[in-house]
Amino acid sequence: MEVAVDRPQVLLEDDHLLVLNKPAGWLVAEVDRDRTVLAWARQRALSMSADPQALHLVHRLDRDTSGCIVLAKSLEDAQKLGATFSDRRVYKSYVALTFPVPAVRWAEVEHLLRARRIEGGEKMEVVEQHGVLAQSEVEVLARGRRYGFVRVLPKQGRKHHIRVALADMGAPIIGDFLYGGRFVARQAKRVMLHARSLEFAHPHGLGHIRVHAPLARDLVTLFQQDGGLVPSALDRRHRRNRPKRKGPQGSDKRRR
């Protein structure tokens, strides 16, 4: 299922947390900006006679990235959920369109990343030492004529984590000028990355949260235009007994 959304969409809500489907192009939060996820959620809370200032962002997504984002409804809930994310007790799944298709079907990749100042912001670069560890599982789920439909399971939440991982594999995300260059950037109006799903324990022991954000329509349409078919088993768990090496056409484990 895919949707075209021009404003945040509620995926799950209870007394302690709110999970939204963030549209591409929206900032999560910014001072003096009205068109942000946090501002939208607080305005919604106000319309429901709730305290808008009680809402807190638990994690962040880049402006171009669509998909699941979590907000807490109190400072206590924000602290508990923040600890869950920082302690890596969250299963996160992303999908991306890449050009070209990664050379291997499945890979575990590890990098050390360090931020470098550039004009207008920061860029993460792969270094040999004195960086932060970024680990991911990457799996090609489908192929178009030129593009790969790729699932990425990041183990941490580093800045530009997935964008760097795929670019370093020689398969940058379509639309990503920063890590893919001009030709890759011209293929789409945004970075084709979607936060597909989140799984984590409820902060008050009320069971296990599992939520999926419908695929963004622009991502699906672009892949279909390339002759690709979105796989039906999009959310199956990675096979835990999958061998870690299968040769050049199978899987690959690498450390940078």
| Residues carrying an active site annotation | 62
Asked whether the beta carbons of 93 and 153 are under 8 A apart, the reply is yes
Radius of gyration of the chain (CA): 18
Q: Which is nearest to 73 in space by CA: 56, 59, 60?
A: 56
122 DSSP β-pair partners: 117
Q: Which residues contact 124 (CB under 8 A, 6 or more apart)?
A: 113, 114, 115, 116, 158, 159, 160, 161, 163, 164
Estimate the share of the chain in helix, then strand, then coil, as percent rounded to the nearest 5: 20, 35, 45
CA distances from 15 to 73, 132, 140, 167 (A): 7, 35, 38, 40
Name which of 100, 106, 183, 188 is nearest 146 in CA terms.
Answer: 100
Tell me, what DSSP letter sits at residue 173?
B
Instruction: Indicate the DSSP class of residue 141.
Output: E
H-helix segments, 53-169: 75-86, 161-168
First to last CA, the chain: 36
**What type of residue is 83?**
A
